[in-house]
Amino acid sequence: MLTLGLLGCSEPPALSAPSPEPQASFLWFEYQGMDEVFDAPLALDRYQNPVAAGFFPDPSITRKGQDYYMAVSSFAYTPGVPILHSRDLVNWQLLGHALTRPSQLDVAGARVSRGIFAPTLRYHDGLFYMITTLVDKGGNFFVTASDPAGPWSDPVWLPELDGIDPDIFFDDDGRVFIAHNGPPPGEPLYEGHRAIWLWEFDPKSQKIKADSGRIIVNGGVDLSKQPIWIEAPHLYKINGWYYLLCAEGGTADEHSEVVFRSHSLDLPFRPYKGNPILTQRDLDPARPAPITTAGHADIVQTPQGQWWAVFLATRAYAQRFYNSGRETFLLPVSWQDDWPHILPAGQAIDYRPQKPDGLANSPVDEALTGNFTWRDEFDQPSLSLHWSQLRDFSSHWWHIHKGKLLVKPQTGRLNSAESLSFIGRRQQHMHYRVSTALNLSSTGFSAGLTAFQNEQYHYYLGARRVAQGMQVFLEQAAGDDGQVIVTTLLEVPANGDINLAIEGDKDSIRFSYQLGEQAWQPLGGTFDGKLLSTQVAGGFVGTMLGVHSRLEPVEPGV
């Protein structure tokens, strides 16, 4: 209640208008991919590798009738475990995600390269199974669905499994087995010494059979040579043989795929003398447009009887640097003396191999490879499947209204592991450009574009209203908490929009802004793109390009 003074005030004092709620309005977002290796026209009998460009690592594949489905790792991004679909093995589209709600996935507080590791996707007897590891937050579990587009069940946890990269195998006698990477017997003999474990699983009780676990591979192909990081097991039964495919050598330049076999799951698995059956580590690193780090494969058979392998690899620049993460590639599998072969030793992965026989071309609406432009006008009630959040599923800080993505800033900054206002999509090309149009409701916060590899390695091209106008700034994190390295002050009307853009090309990255119909203006010069590479930043993810907003309670100087 307003009380008048006793000195004869004839009218109440004026009330100030309430301050607008801090909110950033993004009018659109556009991503353009412009890689030279994708430029030339694609012959009708050829397909493009990678089949899923960008951060689509650790692929696992299964088939139901004429349809193929893949699951890939998502780490701390939500929703978790992207599910991809294809009718011809070469044209893939993002179908949905297996982990879409907090009851399935808790990655709160996780650093970006923790969370979900290496799923396996299988179809059996009318049901899809996705089994994976949630690192630091519960371990191994599986979910099921009758439709891979979802919804998927809540997790069934498997606490007996000590390790990562679980695989589920349905034998033709009705028995079910789970293989995974785990600790070796006793103390490890060297750094990277791991083993592959096999357990029997009871599908009725949905539990591991007690005391059924045993080691089927110790160390790798040849323990005397101290192989490192045997992992990502996948079991198959083909023509009377049990085959075990595994990754070996770590996820960097020495990565490879190896194979073992046995006539019985109760007998030892023997390694193939021709291992590895896939690698690029024996090639000249100075070769043009190198594809590197190949391994972590899964195989599938077509209705025509052919076998094909999906696997991860990376497209590198400057011999061994890559910013876009580990991508999904496809190659045919041949058989020699009842052993599978993916690629002969010393042979480079082909960017444009021969298409699978007997599979009619089946184009998709939103391609995951080749050069393309992807634009979001925010004209749908929910976010596109291509957008990801980090660490949570919360939507209290964003909504879509009348063709705008409205984002409320939070205190979380890109260098923290707390909840933050961020959505991103994958960098899928070495040469790309992202841009957006932005409006800020008030002072006290910033918003803009980010190229985000992880908490300590990223760029943030932001704008904020200050007393003197609009300030555009560039923040760089280079192994630290980040610092503003470039600023400029603009005269922008109180309700005016500003356009922002980031353009990356291998090891270089540039930033620019635009007011109305004026020409684009650079902010600073050319900056170090290698900060966003896995070789510099570490971890297991690829760069995400997206929007970010945060509260800034103390108005910065200009």
Give the pLDDT confidence score for residue 219 in this predicted structure: 97
Overall size of the chain counted in residues: 558
Token code pair at residue 518: 């004026």
Give the pLDDT confidence score for residue 413 in this predicted structure: 96
Using DSSP's 3-state secondary structure scheme, residue 373 falls into strand
Q: 72-86, 108-122, 204-218, 489-503: lowest mean pLDDT where?
A: 489-503
* DSSP-derived pairing of the beta strands 389-390 and 373-376: unpaired
Token code pair at residue 415: 């260098």
* pLDDT of 3 higher than 60: no
Token code pair at residue 260: 């073992």
Q: What is the mean pLDDT of residues 224-244?
A: 98
Of residues 401, 395, 444, 527, the one with CA closest to residue 25: 401
Give the pLDDT confidence score for residue 493 in this predicted structure: 79
* pLDDT of 10 higher than 60: no
User: Mind telling me the catalytic residues?
Assistant: 58, 231
* pLDDT of 13 higher than 70: no
pLDDT class of 478 with cuts at 50, 70, 90:
very high
* pLDDT tens column, 396-447: 999 999 999 999 999 999 999 999 999 999 999 999 999 999 999 999 999 9
Of residues 438, 269, 243, the one with CA closest to residue 333: 243
* pLDDT tens column, 442-465: 999 999 999 999 999 999 999 999
pTM: 0.94
274 and 262 Cβ atoms separated by less than 8 Å: no
Q: 16-25, 92-101, 163-172: lowest mean pLDDT where?
A: 16-25
Dihedral class, residue 88 (left if φ above 0, else alpha if ψ from -120 to 50, else beta)? alpha
In the block, tokens 């699983």 appear at 201
426 and 31 Cβ atoms separated by less than 8 Å: no
pLDDT class of 15 with cuts at 50, 70, 90:
very low
Q: What is the mean pLDDT of residues 147-171?
A: 97
CATH code for the structural domain at 24-29+371-551: 2.60.120.200
Extents of the domains making up the chain: 24-29+371-551, 42-341
User: φ and ψ at 535, to 5 degrees?
Assistant: -65, -30
Cα torsion through 100, 104, 108, 114, rounded to 10: -90
Average pLDDT, the chain: 94
* pLDDT of 16 higher than 60: no
Give the pLDDT confidence score for residue 554 in this predicted structure: 54
- What's domain 42-341's superfamily in CATH? Glycosyl hydrolase domain; family 43 (2.115.10.20)
Give the pLDDT confidence score for residue 19 in this predicted structure: 60
Cα torsion through 252, 253, 254, 255, rounded to 10: 60
* pLDDT of 114 higher than 90: yes
120 and 130 Cβ atoms separated by less than 8 Å: yes
pLDDT class of 168 with cuts at 50, 70, 90:
very high
